[in-house]
A = this chain, B = another copy of it.
Amino acid sequence: MIRVLLVSHSKALAAGLADMIRQMASDESMVEIVPVGGAEDGSLGTDPMRVLEEFNKTKAGDYSLVFCDIGSSIMSAESAYDMIEDEELKKRIRFVDAPLVEGAFAAGVVATTTSDPDEVIEQALDSKSQKKFE
């Protein structure tokens, strides 16, 4: 199972994006979409402890692919990663250097067809070079 983590400064953004992806990636046996948005009190910001909590939910054999918005959400996710003590778990957390919305959407859709994290990451990275307009 692939878990797609959406780390954003905004709780509403992460929740809305999760809804959008779930509409196209509804097979819950294959993919889980996990919004991690906002600071602890729901205001704009990011919270490394909440990201760590989600990292720790990655079960054996599963992978968590991490998508971030900008700046300090990236730092929060990286701090959370550094706090992981289980080296085996660390290997199953993968940061994806793709745009949050476009990348996570592509990942979610592909993850309904494969559990190979590299394949899913490749599709997410492809979103960087896709043209939106003619």
Contacts and interface: CB of A to CB of B under 8 A. Distances in A.
Integer count of this chain's copies in the complex: 2
Contact of A20 (B23, B69, B78): B69
Given A12-B16, A19-B12, A44-B19, A133 B74 contact: yes
A128 interface: yes
Interface of A: 8-17, 19-20, 23, 37, 44, 68-70, 74, 78, 95, 97, 99-102, 105, 128, 131-133
Given A100-B101, A101-B70, A133-B74, A8 B12 contact: no
B97 A100 contact: no
Nearest to A134: B78
Contact of A15 (B12, B20, B95): B12
A112 to B, nearest CB: 16
A128 B11 CA distance: 24
Contacts of A16: 8, 10-16, 37
Nearest to A103: B99
